[in-house]
Amino acid sequence: MLKDAYSIPFEARIYQSYLSGIKNHWRTSLYQQVIKEVSNLQTTNIDEIESSMLSSPSYQLYAWQERMTQQFKYIGRGGIKTILEKSRKELLDILQSAGQVNPERLKLNPSCELPDYVGGFDVHQVPGGLGKDALNTWLMVWYQKGLTFAGGNPDALVEWYADLIAKLAKDANANASKVLDLGCTLGRSTMAIKKKMPSAEVFGCDVCEYPLRYGHLFAIENGIDITLCQENAEKLTFKDKTFDIVASHWLFHELPPDAAANVIHEAARVLNPGGIFVIYDMCKVPGGAIGEWLHKGMAIRNNEPYALPLIHTDLTKIMKEAGFKNIQFKTTSPDWPKDTEPSELMKSRYMFMNMYSGIIQKI
């Protein structure tokens, strides 16, 4: 069983709970103090905000905690990577065994090269990155279980994403027989779609091989019938007009602007006429200059260099050029009232997620 593959020792759990405490302090009281100080500044220029705030002890601590709590989760005596290293061989053997059962549902492609924006640096500060060190698949398993911006249920966001996709298809009276989830990592978002649309044939793709291997084993263990493929979303190997829905959950903030445009054009190509495309990500941030300053800080401190360009990319324009119509933008999340845009900064530090959707023209 995948869930019994490794255990986290008591000492490491103590260390991780200590880090959670720091993160909570960062997210709540420290964040509020920084917002209070920055709101008194007389500028909306983010460089001037940064220069003024550099001497603030609260901001210095906020910045340090934002970077280091993320890093400490992985490294050091109680870091999850340290724990996983002790079982490296066994954990990699499990992943190697993927594909022995239902091999037709795991389509690996050894000639699929990692783009630099995936393999060239430690995205999200994951030591060694997700694509270069297969062991980091297990790190993602642990991280995504605990990752929740939406309360206690780590799957709340993917379930919400799947709900939205199903609702968009229903409202558009669109066919939803074949769905592709781009940048699926471990297949969590793909499985949420399959659970929401059980009669659809659902595919997930990612450029990294080992998370797909894990997702395949997990899907089989849990009786979820999906197909996972190793693909670069910028140049998919699927034929034109293959899918009714193409969607992505947290892919776009990891893409440089030219790659984002390529992915949108590829989605248009593989969609059937009338098919639906969904981008769910941090496409815009509320809170004006302060929101952008916080977002830029997060992007730099957490090694997510393309999160800032994304909020300045005109996705509507690119989608129109690619042939989409009925382009909609929504800024709801499970925690916000439906169809409302948060007009001010939230009371605690939060990732602002939102969604673009469009329908491909019938020619």
Ligand X SMILES: C[S@@+](CC[C@H](N)C(=O)[O-])C[C@H]1O[C@@H](n2cnc3c(N)ncnc32)[C@H](O)[C@@H]1O
Take residue 138 and report the two structure tokens written for it: 């297990």
| Closer residue to ligand X, CB minimum distance, 211 or 297 | 211
**266 sits near ligand X (criterion: CB under 6 A):** no
**115 sits near ligand X (criterion: CB under 6 A):** yes
Among 66, 234, 244, 266, binds ligand X (CB under 6 A): 234
**208 sits near ligand X (criterion: CB under 6 A):** yes
Backbone angles phi, psi at 322, to 5 degrees: -80, -5
The whole-angstrom separation of Cα 103 and Cα 97 is: 10
In the bound complex, what is the minimum distance in angstroms from residue 158's beta carbon to ligand X? 5
In the bound complex, what is the minimum distance in angstroms from residue 92's beta carbon to ligand X? 18
In the bound complex, what is the minimum distance in angstroms from residue 338's beta carbon to ligand X? 21
**230 sits near ligand X (criterion: CB under 6 A):** no
Cβ atoms 174, 276 nearer than 8 A: yes
Pairing state between β 243-249 and 271-281: parallel
Sign of CA pseudo-dihedral 53, 59, 61, 67: negative
**63 sits near ligand X (criterion: CB under 6 A):** no
| Closer residue to ligand X, CB minimum distance, 140 or 345 | 140
Cβ atoms 244, 276 nearer than 8 A: yes
**95 sits near ligand X (criterion: CB under 6 A):** no
Take residue 90 and report the two structure tokens written for it: 């066994």
Per-residue DSSP letters for 36-61?
HHHHTSS---HHHHHHHHTT-HHHHH
Cβ atoms 171, 180 nearer than 8 A: no
Backbone angles phi, psi at 167, to 5 degrees: -65, -40
**244 sits near ligand X (criterion: CB under 6 A):** no
| Closer residue to ligand X, CB minimum distance, 115 or 286 | 115
Which residues inside 160-189 make contact with ligand X, applying CB under 6 A?
A: 183-185, 188-189
In the bound complex, what is the minimum distance in angstroms from residue 251's beta carbon to ligand X? 5
**158 sits near ligand X (criterion: CB under 6 A):** yes
Among 254, 266, 292, 304, binds ligand X (CB under 6 A): 254
The whole-angstrom separation of Cα 156 and Cα 237 is: 31
| Closer residue to ligand X, CB minimum distance, 285 or 290 | 285
> Could you tell me how many residues of this chain bind ligand X (CB under 6 A)?
23
Among 169, 233, 264, 290, binds ligand X (CB under 6 A): 233
**98 sits near ligand X (criterion: CB under 6 A):** no
Q: Which helix (H) or strand (E) holds 325?
A: strand 324-330
In sequence order, the β-bridge partners of residue 228 are: 106, 204
**270 sits near ligand X (criterion: CB under 6 A):** no
Cβ atoms 253, 315 nearer than 8 A: no
Burial of residue 32 (number of CB atoms within 10 Å: 0-12, 13-18, 19+): middle
Among 49, 80, 176, 251, binds ligand X (CB under 6 A): 251
The contact set with ligand X (CB under 6 A) reads 115, 118, 130, 144, 158, 183-185, 188-189, 205-208, 211, 232-234, 249-251, 254-255
